[in-house]
A and B are shown apart, each in its own frame.
Chain A
Amino acid sequence: MILFENVTKKFGSSQALDEVSFEIKQGEFVFIVGPSGAGKSTLLRILTREIIPSSGKVFVDKIDLMKMKDKEVPNLRRKVGVVFQDFKLLDDRTVFEQVALALEVRGKKNDEIEKGVEHILKLVEIWDKRNLFPKQLSGGEAQRTAIARAVVGKPDILLADEPTGDLDPKTAWAVLQLLNEINSWGTTIVMATHNQEIVNTLKRRVITIKKGKVSSDTKEGKYDLS
């Protein structure tokens, strides 16, 4: 599903990623851990083709992202949902409209959008908040909205960049349970996190990145930066 082959990314003189290689299979739940500035977010941004590696090869669903034309990028992004630490919700749209946006950009018809949004909002348990704006939501509700928006289009992969970073422990666990459930549908989940407790409890594959290099890649890994 995802293949990194000797990927290097430089920003001027600083090296964000250095010869990174790994493979993630369909349906896996993978934690990317590492200290701040290790290159976790860079890695995720390469997967959405927001940035292009300086060298190496990246494949998503056997598609070479290095050779991908700009006009093909939207199709890639419809396969790869993204959730951010700061939610990236639009202030002037309701919960329903935020989620509907993901289907509107896919060119879905109005009745499909209404059914799809209703289904996903009920699934993430915020259907009763559908008419609220981001400022009226709690952190957990905002993150659920962001997750609903990322998965409503049924992407093959869900990238989550510190999705629990701004949440209290109880809400963070609730969000993680939701991600777990999404993973059970067959969606590959790649989650960058600093949350030691979550990583250690879930016992999923953990890729540790330090100074731009993969320092460990373990199947039922633990959060270990030593």
Chain B
Amino acid sequence: MTSTIDFTKRNIRRTPIQAIAASMVMFLTFFALIVFILLAAGSEQALKFFESKPQVIAFFKEGTTDQDVSVIENALKAETRVTKTKYISKEDALEIYREKNKNDPTLLELVTANILPASLEISTQTPQDLGPIAQILEKEPVVSEVIVPEDVVKTLTSITTVIRVVGGAVVLFLMIFAMLVILMIIGFKIRLKRSEIEIMRLLGASSSFIRQPFILEGMFYGLSGGILSWVIVYILLWYFTPFLQGYLGEVNLLPVDPLFMLTLLIWVIIIASLVGGLGSLGAVRRYLKI
């Protein structure tokens, strides 16, 4: 085994340009794969978040009195589908707004309690209950707008599907492309080392002894590209986490769970070894007739 690894190292060292090219192709492939996996996992999480919090928000018109709100609240409490109601007054809304924008004084200066509407947050038993409750609220004359996360869920579902389908197709294409590049590079190296292989055969090298370094070389390209892309994505994710958190609001996706990233790394290692190994195996089968 030591000898096989030595041969592999020598093979890589003696053709550095091909080695860098192969690793870069693998890097790009796995960079795309990891990004699509993170996007898919992120949208999935966001979807779960919205599904786990079935909530309708009704915004009240200007001039709505506490009594109007109490009437609606009491009527809703009588509904078995409603689990909880929470009234957010104009002042509460201002408090929430201030908390969210505490780092931006310009935004705080322009807003007062008067321009923010009061609202009622209604939680239901299941996401299916949201529609009927929204219909009840829309009929109330003091309600100006009703927001149903059902729409958000629908949008997120379609986004997740698109990410899965498009991402899957792109990654599959890149994987086949990477495998072909590895096949081409290893095939080229086999041709380059024809006389060495011939001499090794005459010295009594077994087929596996000759083939293994080429297969390991392909796996090395896969692994180096895969691991490097994981490291880069993790660094980028870590760097942009504070910026992205502002966009995600209540959806608790960031910082990404280290355990999830570790699992992702293990999968990257397995898949990268497979892609590199299969590419070089193809080259060995095609170009190395022993």
Residues of chain A at the chain B interface (Cβ within 8 Å): 48, 50, 71, 74-78, 82, 88, 90, 92, 101-102, 104-107, 109-110, 149, 153
Chain B nearest CB: distance from A95 CB in Å? Answer: 14
Binds A, one of B77-85, B112-120, B134-142, B192-200: B192-200
Q: Say if the beta carbon of B249 comes within 8 Å of chain A.
A: no
Q: Is the Cβ of B203 less than 8 Å from the Cβ of A149?
A: yes
Roughly how many angstroms separate A48 CA and B201 CA in the complex, as a whole number? 10
Instruction: Point out the residue from A75, A77, A88 that lies within 8 Å of B195, measured CB to CB.
Output: A88
Q: Is the Cβ of B2 less than 8 Å from the Cβ of A110?
A: yes
Chain B contacts for A88, CB-based, 8 A:
195, 198-199, 202
4 new A-B contacts, CB < 8 A, other than A74-B201, A101-B203, A105-B204, are: A48-B202, A90-B199, A105-B200, A105-B209
Q: A88-B195, A92-B14, A104-B3 are in contact. Are A153 and B202 (CB under 8 A)?
A: no
Q: Is the Cβ of B195 less than 8 Å from the Cβ of A105?
A: no
Roughly how many angstroms separate A88 CA and B203 CA in the complex, as a whole number? 11
A-B contact pairs, 26 of them (CB 8 A): A48-B202, A74-B205, A74-B206, A74-B207, A74-B209, A76-B204, A77-B201, A77-B202, A82-B202, A88-B195, A88-B198, A88-B202, A90-B195, A90-B196, A101-B203, A102-B203, A102-B204, A104-B3, A105-B203, A105-B204, A105-B206, A107-B3, A107-B209, A109-B2, A110-B2, A153-B204
Roughly how many angstroms separate A102 CA and B205 CA in the complex, as a whole number? 8
Chain A nearest CB: distance from B207 CB in Å? Answer: 7
Residues of chain B at the chain A interface (Cβ within 8 Å): 2-3, 6-7, 14, 195-196, 198-207, 209
Roughly how many angstroms separate A78 CA and B200 CA in the complex, as a whole number? 11
Chain B contacts for A101, CB-based, 8 A:
199-200, 203
Roughly how many angstroms separate A104 CA and B7 CA in the complex, as a whole number? 10
Chain B nearest CB: distance from A112 CB in Å? Answer: 11
Q: Is the Cβ of A105 less than 8 Å from the Cβ of B205?
A: yes
Roughly how many angstroms separate A50 CA and B203 CA in the complex, as a whole number? 12
Roughly how many angstroms separate A153 CA and B209 CA in the complex, as a whole number? 16
Roughly how many angstroms separate A92 CA and B192 CA in the complex, as a whole number? 12
Roughly how many angstroms separate A106 CA and B195 CA in the complex, as a whole number? 19
Using CB atoms, name the residue of chain B closest to A91: B195
Roughly how many angstroms separate A48 CA and B205 CA in the complex, as a whole number? 13
Roughly how many angstroms separate A107 CA and B203 CA in the complex, as a whole number? 12
Q: Is the Cβ of A77 less than 8 Å from the Cβ of B204?
A: yes
Chain A contacts for B209, CB-based, 8 A:
74, 105, 107
Roughly how many angstroms separate A161 CA and B199 CA in the complex, as a whole number? 15
Chain B nearest CB: distance from A138 CB in Å? Answer: 21
Identify which of B6, B198, B200, B207 gathers the most chain A CB atoms within 10 Å of its CB.
Answer: B200
Roughly how many angstroms separate A137 CA and B54 CA in the complex, as a whole number? 83
Chain B contacts for A104, CB-based, 8 A:
3, 6-7
Chain B nearest CB: distance from A111 CB in Å? Answer: 11
Chain A nearest CB: distance from B241 CB in Å? Answer: 48
Chain B contacts for A75, CB-based, 8 A:
204
Chain A contacts for B200, CB-based, 8 A:
101, 105
Roughly how many angstroms separate A107 CA and B7 CA in the complex, as a whole number? 12
Chain A nearest CB: distance from B276 CB in Å? Answer: 24
Q: Is the Cβ of B204 less than 8 Å from the Cβ of A106?
A: yes
Top 9 closest pairs, chain A to chain B, by CB: A78-B204, A105-B205, A77-B204, A74-B206, A74-B204, A104-B3, A102-B203, A105-B203, A90-B196
Chain A nearest CB: distance from B247 CB in Å? Answer: 55
Roughly how many angstroms separate A107 CA and B201 CA in the complex, as a whole number? 14
Chain B nearest CB: distance from A128 CB in Å? Answer: 24
Roughly how many angstroms separate A3 CA and B207 CA in the complex, as a whole number? 27
Instruction: Point out the residue from A71, A77, A92, A110 that lies within 8 Å of B203, measured CB to CB.
Output: A77
Chain A contacts for B201, CB-based, 8 A:
74, 77
Chain B contacts for A74, CB-based, 8 A:
201, 204-207, 209
Q: Is the Cβ of B202 less than 8 Å from the Cβ of A71?
A: no
Chain B nearest CB: distance from A167 CB in Å? Answer: 20
Chain A contacts for B202, CB-based, 8 A:
48, 50, 77, 82, 88
Using CB atoms, name the residue of chain B closest to A90: B196
Chain A contacts for B196, CB-based, 8 A:
90
Identify which of A48, A105, A110 gathers the most chain B CB atoms within 10 Å of its CB.
Answer: A105
Identify which of B14, B198, B205, B209 gathers the most chain A CB atoms within 10 Å of its CB.
Answer: B205
Roughly how many angstroms separate A203 CA and B53 CA in the complex, as a whole number? 101
